Structure 1
Amino acid sequence: MKLIVQIPCFNEEQTLPETVADIPRSIAGISAVEILVIDDGSTDQTVQVARDAGVDHIIQNRCNMGLARSFQKGLDACLQRGADIIVNTDGDNQYCGADIPKLIAPILEGRADLVIGNRQTDSIPHFSANKKRLQKLGSFIVRRVSGTEVADAVSGFRAMTRETALRLNVVSSFSYTIETVIQAGKKNIAIASVPVRTNPKTRESRLYKGLPRFLERSVTTMVRIYTMYQPLRFFSYLGLICIGTGLIPSVRFLFYYLAGQGEGHVQSLILAAILFIMGFQFLVAAMITDVVSRNRQLLEETLMRVRRMEIDRGKDHNGQ
Structure 2
Amino acid sequence: MAMSLEEEDEPFNLPDLPEFSSVERNYLSLIGRILNPDCQKMRSLILDMPRKWQKVGKCRGVALSRDKFQFIFDNEYDLLDVLDKGVHTYNEWTLVIQRWVENPPEDYLQYIPLWVQIRQLPVNYYTAEAISSLGDLVGKVDVVAFDPNKVQVQNFVRVKVFFDVSRPLRKEKVVNLPKGGSATIMFSYERIQKRCYECQRLNHECEVCPLWIRKRQWQADDRKAFGSFMKPIKPLVITNNDPLYGVLKEEQVGINPATGRPRIAADVLEAMRQYLLVSNVDERRVREDRIKKSVAEAEADQ
Q: Indicate the TM-score class for this superposition, using the shorter chain for normalisation.
A: under 0.3
Greater Rg by CA: 2
Which structure has the higher relative contact order (CA within 8 Å, separation 6+)? 1
Higher strand share: 2
